[in-house]
Structure 1
Amino acid sequence: MTDRPRFAFTIHATDGKARTGEIAMRRGTIRTPAFMPVGTAATVKGVKPADVRAAGAEIILGNTYHLMLRPGAERVARLGGLHGFMGWDRPILTDSGGYQVMSLSDLTKRDENGVTFKSHLDGTRHTLSPERSIEIQRLLGSDIVMAFDELVPTTSPPEVQSAAMARSMRWAKRSRDAFDSGGAHAENAAIFGIQQGALDQTLRGDSAAALIDIGFDGYAVGGLAVGEGQEAMFGCLDFAPGQLPVDKPRYLMGVGKPTDIVGAVERGIDMFDCVLPTRSGRTGQAFTRSGPLNIRNAKFAEDTGPLDPTCACPVCTTWSRAYLHHLVRSGEMLGAMLMTEHNLWFYQALMADLRRAIAEGRLKSFADTFRHEYRSQSERDQ
């Protein structure tokens, strides 16, 4: 591809537990803390790849489960891999499919081999194991491959959480072995392990120790943002990132809301992904520095101001709230597209501000100001 390293993580500055740095890979450099827009089915919904890049994204996420079902990993491979298929030439991280198997599918069997399930699309039966998950990610041409794990709710009984964590660590070893046997792909890609253990500090510590013994390029904190609430999530993040290697990237999966991201960065997280900016855009919600805004609200029908006066994105510098209100209320597809584009810019601008604040040693001040200004719609209307 290029003479860039396969995978190299450099920390440039720290501020408390927070870090800012870079991940260098064959297809490009990713500045951290980084937010990855979600391209579930080989598309960041409603936005062209060039516009995703223009917003500032340096890496996106693809989904093993969805792509294995449609159009199929083997088909994507025959068509040249996910990058060429969707027109994105920078790094792609693919999740393992474990979360979607647990949350979307009609499960029929879960055992040491993997999970056998029925597709949510057509009811066909499939088996996803650590080896098959890694094979699919290799066929897609993923730059950062995720180990296959078993996710259980944080409300599960302790013995269920412990058993799932232990099985996830066995699957992590099988994932690592499958990745290492991948030939040329393994020579150009990276693999991350996923820490599990719900909200239990001892289980999380045991999981981290097992993953470190196996050895990965980066480490994800998994099993959070699944309904436990921000306070419980932050309680876990007060100790979980510190159990992982300081010289490797730490990725919090499926997070999240802007205030979640700011708090997680303060606790040492380097990478994030979430469907919120795209999903919210499609439903008429915009993220702004003063909080989320529902453009469907009648009060915006004649509002000539931009979505967010502090935003320099093409949407805010071109169209009014009144026009966006009209598009969304009329069901015009352009409304969803423009709202999504703005949200992607908002998230990337937030990450750039966090990186700058860490580098300048003023993260606490920035985070406190952000939280003070970022209020809900109901709070602003009071």
Structure 2
Amino acid sequence: MKFDLLAKDSQTKARAATLTTDHGVIETPIFMPVGTVGTVKGVHQRELKQDINPDIILGNTYHLYLRPQTPILEKAGGLHKFMNWDRNILTDSGGYQVYSLSGRRKIKEEGVKFKSHIDGSYHMFTPENVMEIQRAIGADIIMAFDECTPYPCDYNYAKRSMHMTHRWLKRCMDHLEKTPFKYDYSQAFFPIVQGSTYRDLRRQSAETIANAGAPGNAIGGLSVGEPAEELYAMTEIVTEVLPEDKPRYLMGVGTPINILENIALGVDMFDCVMPTRNARNGMLFTAHGSINIKNKKWEDDFSAIDKMNITWVDTEYSKAYLKHLFSVNELLGKQIATIHNLGFYLWLVREARKHILAGDFAEWKTKMVKQMDNRL
């Protein structure tokens, strides 16, 4: 993997870069649509390529391990071939899913024993077998196995968890050295900074992760319920430590405003289920604020979903039509809303990149944050 830093904003830490893997070039800042189980929910791969056009999407090790299971993915030749996607894929290692299974898992030094949410069967994730699973899935970027702590979190627990995540990182890296690539392309490995919302732990973890010398680095354990101010404070501490010449990935974040604020703090990569999940519930993001399309006020509004016509659906469908589709529980409504929201997120990070390259990102960000902080 190659990372080329092209420009930095003079008033913030925002950067524009290119990240190149064997599956192509990723222009950063980038938002990665979440394709948890080998699909971006409700969107054909054809529409994903033509209408949303992301350079990279995300898959999830926990879910793909359970279904369709790694032997099936290996027989298919990896996730790219299985889902007919010829661009980049990143896989989360499953640490966040383990965190979310709080009543169904037991964490030990060896790894995590958990109960499947599908059939109640027991499984074990260790740093070693998670690396093997991600080799079999075949993502271009694979993540270290870590423990994601809850919020709020006791300081001593956060500290113990952080040190275990660091020990697990060494085991991941040691095992990767013994485990060759399964397919005809390479994989890049990213370790994950932890430390909850404690400044000293975040700094210590960032130093450990930076010293690991991996091709890129991730920031985990945020966007789990902490206030936005804490999210930004932790990100700022970490980006001050992580090397400038490698990509920085903030996991699971977030709202459009969260993304712009964290771009300003020096983050390059983002993912979140928010645009797709909110779309299925009728919540749309636009450049001028959010819309609950289920509200009665839209039933005779024949204007475009977003007056800036950011996605093709904005030129083809009105708010009134989309409100109607939701009112009759028509699946097309959820699909249109999903394509719109993903298109908006990709438009937002691409506009941010343009303004970083043009040298006026700070002014543009201030304007956009104010505009988007509205309920229409």
- Give the TM-score normalised by the residue count of structure 1: 0.95
Per the TM alignment, residue 210 of structure 1 is displaced from its structure 2 partner at its CA by 1.9
Given the alignment, which residue of 161, 167, 174 partners 2:158? 161
Range with bigger deviation, 103-112 or 271-280: 103-112
Q: Mapping of 1:327-342 within 5 angstroms?
A: 327-342=325-340
Q: CA RMSD in A?
A: 1.3
Range with bigger deviation, 97-106 or 159-168: 97-106
Residues 116, 127 of structure 1: 8 Å contact kept: yes
Q: 1:67 to 1:105 in 2, by over 3 A?
A: farther
Q: Structure 1 CA distance, aligned partners of 2:205 and 2:148?
A: 13
Partner of 1:18 in structure 2?
Answer: 14
Partner of 1:134 in structure 2?
Answer: 131
Per the TM alignment, residue 154 of structure 1 is displaced from its structure 2 partner at its CA by 3.6
Q: 1:183 to 1:230 in 2, by over 3 A?
A: same
Q: Structure 2 CA distance, aligned partners of 1:176 and 1:53?
A: 33
Give the residue type in structure 1 aligned to 2:7: A
1:74 aligns with 2:71: yes
Q: 1:296 to 1:108 in 2, by over 3 A?
A: closer
Q: Structure 1 CA distance, aligned partners of 2:141 and 2:45?
A: 19
Partner of 1:93 in structure 2?
Answer: 90
Q: Structure 2 CA distance, aligned partners of 1:203 and 1:82?
A: 36
Partner of 1:59 in structure 2?
Answer: 56
Residues 52, 344 of structure 1: 8 Å contact kept: no
Secondary structure in 1 matching 2:91: strand
Q: Structure 1 CA distance, aligned partners of 2:248 and 2:299?
A: 43
Partner of 1:193 in structure 2?
Answer: 191
Of all paired residues, the percent bearing the same amino acid is: 44
Partner of 2:141 in structure 1?
Answer: 144
Partner of 1:248 in structure 2?
Answer: 246
Per the TM alignment, residue 173 of structure 1 is displaced from its structure 2 partner at its CA by 1.0
* Structure 1 residues without counterparts, runs of 5 or longer: 1-6
- Give the TM-score normalised by the residue count of structure 2: 0.96
Per the TM alignment, residue 211 of structure 1 is displaced from its structure 2 partner at its CA by 1.9
Give the residue type in structure 2 aligned to 1:118: K
Residues 106, 119 of structure 1: 8 Å contact kept: no
Q: Structure 1 CA distance, aligned partners of 2:273 and 2:13?
A: 26
* Deviation sequence 1:58-99 (CA, Å, 0-9, x none): 100000111111111121111221111111110100000011
Given the alignment, which residue of 284, 287, 298 partners 1:286? 284
Give the residue type in structure 2 aligned to 1:21: A
Q: Structure 1 CA distance, aligned partners of 2:90 and 2:24?
A: 13
Q: Structure 1 CA distance, aligned partners of 2:21 and 2:170?
A: 23
Give the residue type in structure 1 aligned to 2:154: P
Q: Structure 2 CA distance, aligned partners of 1:170 and 1:375?
A: 41
Per the TM alignment, residue 176 of structure 1 is displaced from its structure 2 partner at its CA by 1.4
Per the TM alignment, residue 138 of structure 1 is displaced from its structure 2 partner at its CA by 0.8
Aligned length: 372
Partner of 1:35 in structure 2?
Answer: 31
Per the TM alignment, residue 185 of structure 1 is displaced from its structure 2 partner at its CA by 4.4
Secondary structure in 2 matching 1:150: coil
Secondary structure in 1 matching 2:300: coil
Give the residue type in structure 2 aligned to 1:36: M
Q: 1:375 to 1:204 in 2, by over 3 A?
A: closer
Secondary structure in 2 matching 1:113: coil
Give the residue type in structure 1 aligned to 2:28: T
Partner of 1:300 in structure 2?
Answer: 298
Residues 154, 161 of structure 1: 8 Å contact kept: no
Q: Structure 2 CA distance, aligned partners of 1:163 and 1:360?
A: 44
Residues 281, 336 of structure 1: 8 Å contact kept: yes
Q: Structure 2 CA distance, aligned partners of 1:94 and 1:209?
A: 23
Per the TM alignment, residue 108 of structure 1 is displaced from its structure 2 partner at its CA by 4.0
Q: 1:214 to 1:238 in 2, by over 3 A?
A: closer
* Deviation sequence 1:178-232 (CA, Å, 0-9, x none): 2222213496110001011112222122212222332211101111000002111
Q: Structure 2 CA distance, aligned partners of 1:145 and 1:174?
A: 15
* Structure 2 residues without counterparts, runs of 5 or longer: none
Secondary structure in 2 matching 1:224: coil
Q: Structure 2 CA distance, aligned partners of 1:108 and 1:339?
A: 35
Per the TM alignment, residue 259 of structure 1 is displaced from its structure 2 partner at its CA by 0.3
Q: Structure 1 CA distance, aligned partners of 2:285 and 2:18?
A: 26
Q: Mapping of 1:333-372 within 5 angstroms?
A: 333-372=331-370
Per the TM alignment, residue 375 of structure 1 is displaced from its structure 2 partner at its CA by 2.6
Q: Structure 2 CA distance, aligned partners of 1:17 and 1:71?
A: 41
* Deviation sequence 1:92-140 (CA, Å, 0-9, x none): 0000001101203643421111000101111000001111111111111
Partner of 2:117 in structure 1?
Answer: 120
Partner of 1:47 in structure 2?
Answer: 43
Give the residue type in structure 1 aligned to 2:344: F
Per the TM alignment, residue 56 of structure 1 is displaced from its structure 2 partner at its CA by 2.7
Q: Structure 2 CA distance, aligned partners of 1:106 and 1:154?
A: 16
Partner of 1:325 in structure 2?
Answer: 323
Secondary structure in 2 matching 1:188: coil
Q: Structure 2 CA distance, aligned partners of 1:232 and 1:137?
A: 31
Residues 11, 22 of structure 1: 8 Å contact kept: yes
